[in-house]
Amino acid sequence: MRSSRIDRLKKLGLVDKDFQPAQPLPVNPRLPGWQQLTAEQQKVEARKMEIYAAMVDNLDHNIGRVIDYLRQSGQYDNTMIVFMSDNGAAAENHAQFYPPGVNTDNSLANLGQRGSQIDYGLRWAEVSAAPFHLFKGTTAEGGISVPAIIQLPKTLRRQGVERGVARVDDLAPTFLDLAGIALPSEADKHPITGRSILPMLEGKSSPHDAESLAGELFGNAYYREGNLKLLGMRPQTGFGDHAQPPQWQLFDVAQDRGETHDLAAAQPQTVERLKVAWLKYAERVGVAFPPR
């Protein structure tokens, strides 16, 4: 199914035809593939995705209700609409965090009903994050790159796939820019860190093309400078011991967005330079490092 999803993304023009996708994590006893599941386990996994698909369908229906209201009230052509995810596909299993005594019924017959608690799990997360590497909780592309659908007001509207870089903190300055409102400059306010992407949405370049981007989550890190992305991941696919330092990799995300070819060994000086830059970023924003 993951391969079919990638093929469809390419057919729709959402992914370049020569995109080399990331490979799924290797099959092992703790992380079986579809073929390693029993018939009953396959039914459970299929039911999880069926429930997820129903939730997405319900969301789509209710977004349609909002759009219908905007049209009926005469506000649609003067409204900017943004729909996006907050992070990559979720691979976690929340049941492992439940305190003793919490009862759930995740039998096949009860999935999706009262008393069930469903996480669709790591393998479905790999499908949802395709063609990218890994998923939510990591700083790989599958954790930090998300879909975004944006429609501008009618006078500025255009169609197409925009491949420029944007971040969630760009939304506020974009809304203000569209409304003709200057960014707040009061000394007692936290400065807005994003950039207006209105020029990019109108067909110009991304405001981040000449900037470096960085982030951190759960001890995982990334620093992007131009086409190069330094990726730092804790052991065990980013979910190992928080006290362990990240393992650093280097990718050319202009040519290898799937993060399949690690350049760290070939460019050690670049790795060290970007690590220093990331540490400066971490100090500036107050990243809390665990004791080591």
- Asked whether the predicted pLDDT for residue 102 surpasses 70, the reply is yes
Number of H helices, E strands in the chain: 7, 6
Whether 290 contacts 266, CB under 8 Å: no
Domain match, 137 and 196 both: no
Q: What CATH number is attached to the domain comprising 111?
A: 3.40.720.10
CB contact at 8 A, 177 and 196:
yes
Tell me the pLDDT band of 123, cut-offs 50, 70 and 90. Answer: very high
Question: Could you tell me if 204 and 217 lie in one domain?
Answer: no
| Domain stops at, among 154, 180, 208 | 208
Same domain, 279 and 190: no
* Residue that is last in its domain, among 129, 164, 199: 164
| 144/261 same-domain check | no
**Does residue 117 share a domain with residue 69?**
yes
State which of 164, 179, 198 marks the end of a domain: 164
Domain hosting residue 189, numbered range: 166-208
Residue (of 225, 201, 194) closest to 148 by Cα position:
201
Q: Are 200 and 265 within one domain?
A: no
**Residue 173: closest CA among 215, 208, 145, 222:** 208
Beta strand 220-225 with 148-151 is unpaired
In this prediction, residue 28 has a pLDDT band, given cuts at 50, 70 and 90, of confident
d(CA 149, CA 136): 20
What distance in Å separates the CA atoms of residue 249 and residue 224, rounded to the nearest whole number? Answer: 12
At 103 the pLDDT is 79
Same domain, 119 and 158: yes
- Residue 146 sits at the vertex; the CA angle it makes with 183 and 47, to the nearest 5 degrees, is 140
For range 129-147, the mean pLDDT = 94
Hey, what amino acid is at 261? H
In this predicted model, what pLDDT tens digit does every residue of 67-98 receive, in sequence order? 999 999 999 999 999 999 989 999 887 766 67
Is residue 284 classed as helix, strand or coil in its secondary structure?
A: helix
Say yes or no: 181 and 199 in one domain. Answer: yes
255-265 confidence digits (pLDDT tens): 999 999 999 99
Distance CA(74)–CA(148), nearest Å, equals 25
Give the pLDDT score at 228.
96
Residue 278, φ and ψ in degrees, nearest 5? -65, -40
DSSP-H helix ranges across the chain:
2-11, 39-72, 121-129, 141-144, 171-179, 198-201, 268-285
State the total domains in the chain.
Answer: 3
Task: Please report the pLDDT score of residue 41 as a whole number.
Answer: 94
Q: Is the pLDDT of residue 207 over 60?
A: yes
Q: What single-letter DSSP state applies at residue 191?
A: P
The enclosing domain of 270 has a CATH number of 3.30.1120.10
Percent of the chain with pLDDT over 90: 64
Question: Do 187 and 130 fall within a single domain?
Answer: no
The answer to whether 6 and 15 are in contact (CB under 8 A) is yes
For 149-177, the pLDDT digits (tens) are 999 999 888 888 888 889 999 999 999 99
Strands (E), 87-161: 148-151
Query: Do residues 53 and 160 both lie within one domain?
Result: yes
Q: Would you place residue 52 in the very low, low, confident or very high pLDDT band (cuts 50, 70, 90)?
A: very high
For the chain, the maximum distance between any two Cα atoms, rounded to a whole number of angstroms, is 63
Claim to verify: residue 19 and residue 128 sit in the same structural domain = yes
Strand-pair category, 247-252 with 220-225 = unpaired
pTM: 0.88
In this structure, are 136 and 174 located in the same domain?
Answer: no
Evaluate whether 136 touches 90 at the Cβ level (below 8 Å).
yes
For the stretch 265-274, pLDDT in tens is 999 999 999 9
